[in-house]
Every structure is written in structure tokens, then in C-alpha cells.
Amino acid sequence: MLETPKKYTLIAGSAEGPSRLNAFDNALLAAGIGNVNLIRVSSILPPHATLVEKLDVIPGQLMPTAYGTITSDLRAETISAAVAVGIGQDDEYGVIMEFSGRCGQSEAEAAVTEMVRAAFQQRRRELTRVIVRASEHRVESIGCALAAVALWY
């Protein structure tokens, strides 16, 4: 079993690439997590986790990450990805939600914020704060938008 992360960072990036996978990889690099091994996780922020604005990572390290991503090869299409972290009481866990779609950044931010509100309502918990990070990309050839919450130690 992996250690429970103590820190989290919201990141976002977008990029073009010669293939769908390269566009995704380039978006990861733009977001600052292109040189780590992502372990995709679902949507719970550990209790007492501390928000850190800048990642401090070692190339190749394993990084639990909740992320939304979208890749498109439709020229001039606008794509966006967003993540939101919902915070309740200081001693409780938080909720992470991810969104991606063929829309602008403001629509992605609104959608993911509403998802956090719904998650807290379903859990019958009081939401005290929402933190959102998003990226928007206008496709030139093959583009990717990505937003993530990296959980680390």
C-alpha cells in the first residue's frame, strides 16, 4: 500500500504534437508533470493535505494524480480541461473533480465547480472553499488540454 500524500498542487497545460500521444505528453510537460510516472487516482483529497503552488518532483517518481484531459485533431476547435478541489472542515478529506470538453475555459471551470458542489451535497458536508485550475487550447493540428491535481509527499 502506498503512503498517503501530504501535499497537493493544481496544474494545467496545453500543447500541440505530431500525434495524439505526443500532444498529451507535451501538455503534461507544459503542466510540469511530463517527467514523472502518473498513477491515476479518483477524487478524494487526503485529510490535512497542504496546498503547495510549485511541484518539487524527481524525474521518474510515481505521482498519484487526478486529471482531466482532452485531445483533438479538429483544426480550430476549442478544447478545455479543468480540475477543482473542494475543501470542507480542516480535519476532513476534500473532493477532487475533473472535467474536459469541447468548450471554453470558463465553461469548463463552471462545470467542474458545480461537480464539486454536488459531491459535497451528496456527502452531506459543508463546502467552505473551491480551488479551480483549467487550460484552454485552440487546436492547430493535434492539440491537448490537461488539468490535474498532483498528490505528493
Predicted TM-score (pTM) of this structure: 0.95
pLDDT in tens, 129-140: 999 999 999 999
- In the three-class reduction of DSSP (H, G, I as helix; E, B as strand; rest coil), residue 101 is classed as strand
Structure confidence at residue 17 (pLDDT): 98
Segments making up each domain of the chain, as ranges: 7-152
Q: Which residues does 89 contact at the CB level (< 8 Å), separation at least 6?
A: 125, 126, 128
Q: Is 14 a catalytic residue?
A: no
Catalytic-residue membership of 37: yes
- The 10 Å Cβ neighbour count of residue 133 is 20
Q: Which residues of the chain have pLDDT under 50?
A: none
| pLDDT (0 to 100) of residue 89 | 84
DSSP symbol at 55: -
CATH for 7-152?
3.50.20.10
* Catalytic status, residue 53: no
